[in-house]
Amino acid sequence: MSFEEFPRFEQFRGKSILAVDYGTKVTGLASWCPGREPFPQPYGKIIYKDDQQVCGEVKQVFDDEAIDVIIVGLPLHADGKDSEMTKRVRSFAALLTATIPDAELHFQDETLTSYEAKERMKNSPRYGFKVDPKQLDALSAAIILEDFIRKRD
């Protein structure tokens, strides 16, 4: 799969990107640098205690990995409208922006990313052809990042 054909590839070429799949139990992370790496990779997960703690851990990754851009998955209803969780994610993103003011932050619709992550796991030898709950959130974050690059403005 090549992402070079998508307009956002050039826009973000050479920038280190971190995708965040925010959750109130687990927050998944994925990273990618278009032009240096072939495609987004799951990075890891953060076990949720509170928003401040998650922001602190994301900031640590931001600093350690020299991240330039953060993509936050936005859980919208199928009709594109906000849900209760959407409001919570927007609040988290505001706190994240205050915690990491140097970050360029974007939102990406995360509709069906968990479903797609489960399907990929069931069809991949990397995951033993089964859903691995321990890696699900990070793979969902990688899909959010893929979708962000594919999106045409």
Q: Show me where the domains of the chain are located.
A: 7-150
Domain boundaries 7-150, corresponding CATH code: 3.30.420.140
- Backbone φ/ψ region at 148: left (φ over 0), alpha (ψ -120 to 50), beta: alpha
Strand partners, 31: 18, 41
pLDDT of residue 108: 96
d(CA 140, CA 14): 23
Q: Which amino acid is at 101?
A: P
C-alpha distances out from residue 6 to 9, 10, 34, Å: 6, 8, 11
Q: What is the mean pLDDT of residues 78-107?
A: 95
Reported confidence tier of residue 1, pLDDT bands at 50, 70, 90: low
Residue 153 has pLDDT above 90, yes or no: no
For residues 117 and 11, the model is more confident at 117
